[in-house]
A and B are shown apart, each in its own frame.
Chain A
Amino acid sequence: MENTYLIKTKDLVKTYRMGGGYLIALNQVNLEFKEGEFAGLVGPSGSGKTTFLNIVGSLDSPSEGSAVVMGREVESLSHKEAAELRNRYIGFIFQTFNLLPVYTVFENVEFPLLLLGLNAAERKKKVMNALEWVQLADRAKSRPAQLSGGECQRVAIARAVVKVPSIILADEPTANLDAENSHNILRTMERLNQELRTTFVFATHDEKVIRYLRRKITLVDGKVAKDEIIEQQDIKGDNR
């Protein structure tokens, strides 16, 4: 996949029926994402960020145009094929963590691997690796209710990266975190991006996140207003 686009949208349009008319959520969006990108869609609420993530995450299909993810046209996928695409290539990180409360940290991270049908030994190895990446190996047996917000989000990251997906889609991942936890989480994501070459696509309007991005795409009223490459900043600087 190197040197090829993991995500490519062409003239992407998404409209929603609203009352008597239509709401245009995305309007002729043409974007491409390569392996290893650390990019973010920024813009005010209602600018189409989440809709874009929904479509490239194969949770929704475009009204017009096309979205090709990992070489597959999202609009032509069946429910099962879309699930398969998410299962193999895409990880999600949500604003509200969405951990399964009755399961331990280990079991939450293990779940995507169960769907992939890996055996217990493989699962254990991968889960512990993922928890070590996010520095939570010692909390494997804890329940989400016993963790802080920052720790919960780190578990969510571990759950998203445990299957080593090609793409991670993160929708406002720091919205529920304080500044210190936000920086910790973003540094973790940045490190994973660099070590695993996983493509991160954020939807955010949080300045803290924006400071970490290496590509910032500004959406306004469903259109790409600006697409800019940002100079990589010093991770150790902590002045972000």
Chain B
Amino acid sequence: MIKFLFKGLVRDRSRSLFPVLTVMFGVMLTVWLYSWIKGAENMFIESSAKFSTGHVKIMSRAYAEDASQIPNDLALIGIEELLKNLKKDFQELIWAPRIRFAGLLDIPDEYGETMAQGPVAGLAVDLFSPGSPEKEIINLEKSIIRGRLPEKPGEILISDEFAQKLNLEPGETATLISSTMYGSMAVKNFTVAGTVRFGITAMDSGTIVADISDIQSALDMEDASGEILGFFKDFVYRNKKADEINAAFNLRYSDEEDEFSPVMDTLYNQNGLADILAMTGVFSGVIVGIFVVAMSIVLWNAGLMGNIRRYGEIGVRLAMGEDKGHIYRSIIAESLMIGCIGSFLGTTLGLAISYYLQVKGINIGSLMKDASFMFTEVMRAKVTPVSFVIGFFPGILATLLGASISGIGIYKRKTSQLIRELEA
């Protein structure tokens, strides 16, 4: 019987093509939007983790309270000992001390007079220690636009856009004017090794990247750093594991009475990320929900139209001795076939589009000119295992719902009207 129904479906395009196309289109959009949201979520997590939060981050308790102000006077002290302990106690993570700072970047002319000047945000990372993962973490090599990576102390990288504003070329000198950890004025000359572009608006508008030893020296932060970031070795964030490490660290190292004692926080708990991710989860659910409802309505109508058009066929089948329940079940079976075929095609198409957007991405930089949060300019989709199945929920559910509702008409139809209808 299933084969018989399938033949009918394939041959009667008005009964199969439109519903299959509807399901396919809806499922394709569901898969694509889901993958797109996942991609955005992933980019957001990745960008935040690489440049700001790590998978876990250690700060002093006092620094953590005003972390957005970058209060380097409250930085962690004795980090060499702390890093040694971290590497021993939490071997599943890679540890990276960082100093974020702000100041004024002064570009002198050949006489030492100010030629150009601008406010600058700085990121100090370990560039020179053997085995330091930082170059890979912030993708320095691929971000170089002009010049080269710093090779010795005293060299910095500057964001390309900022360099152009200041009319600065690789090899030229730039002076950082800032304040030390103890509040006094700090002035240090650097040589610009190259210019970079990270593709993150917040990092590309006016940033320098320097070696952490240079900045420790410039800002009087010997054996100190504002933050120590921890990354899972495979760079995949696992919230549960991060929570466990967080709890273990704080239990062992943190002291509520001592504002300079270290405290750890996870990626999800920083910058309201948990709320943002929860919101994207809700969005995903809403998208699937919208498609279930919208497609159900469309397919319900298509089912009604189809069943009205098939009144004759259904009438003959009833007259031949097929009972109403069997016909209703056969309509449901047909809808399942349509749902499966449409979902399969829609998922394939949705995955193809998502995969293309995962590789190519879409540049939304022009929309993010004033963005101050860590978000990459090139937005990409992310195909996850869920992307392969998520479309089947709205696809099959909507066809089943549509067919179930439209098929109820069969039960309400009086069998005695059959011959009269058939003769009409």
Instruction: Give residues in A with beta carbon < 8 Å to B.
Output: 50, 53-54, 57, 59-60, 79-80, 82-88, 90-92, 94-96, 98, 100, 102-103, 107, 110-112, 114-115, 159, 171-172
Contact = CB atoms under 8 A, between A and B. Distances in A.
B423 A96 contact: yes
B83 interface: no
A54 B276 CA distance: 66
B275 interface: no
Interface in B313-329: 313, 315-326
A95 B321 contact: no
A167 to B, nearest CB: 12
B323 A83 contact: yes
Contact of B418 (A59, A84, A100, A103): A59
Contacts of A54: 416, 418-419
Interface stretch (B7-15, B44-52, B341-349, B365-373): B7-15
Interface in B139-167: none
Contacts of A82: 415
A85 B319 CA distance: 10
24 contacts: A54-B418, A54-B419, A59-B318, A59-B415, A59-B419, A79-B415, A83-B318, A86-B320, A86-B321, A88-B321, A91-B320, A94-B419, A96-B422, A100-B316, A103-B4, A103-B8, A107-B7, A110-B4, A111-B4, A111-B320, A112-B321, A114-B4, A159-B320, A172-B423
Q: Does more than half of chain A's interface fall in helix, strand or loop, or is it mixed?
A: helix
B359 interface: no
Most chain B CB atoms below 10 A, which of A59, A60, A87, A103: A59
B389 to A, nearest CB: 32
B1 A87 contact: no
B420 interface: yes
Contacts, number: 86
Contacts of B324: 79, 83
B420 to A, nearest CB: 7
A201 to B, nearest CB: 13
A114 B326 CA distance: 12
Q: Does more than half of chain B's interface fall in helix, strand or loop, or is it mixed?
A: helix
Contact of A98 (B12, B316, B415): B316
A115 B321 contact: yes
B322 A83 contact: yes
Given A80-B323, A83-B323, A107-B7, A98 B416 contact: no
The 9 closest A-B pairs by CB, nearest first: A87-B321, A60-B416, A83-B323, A86-B321, A102-B11, A102-B12, A98-B316, A92-B319, A59-B415
B422 A98 contact: yes
A226 to B, nearest CB: 24
A18 B420 CA distance: 16
Nearest to A175: B423
Contact of A115 (B8, B315, B320): B320
A112 B319 contact: no
Contacts of A114: 1, 4
Contacts of A59: 318-319, 415-416, 418-419
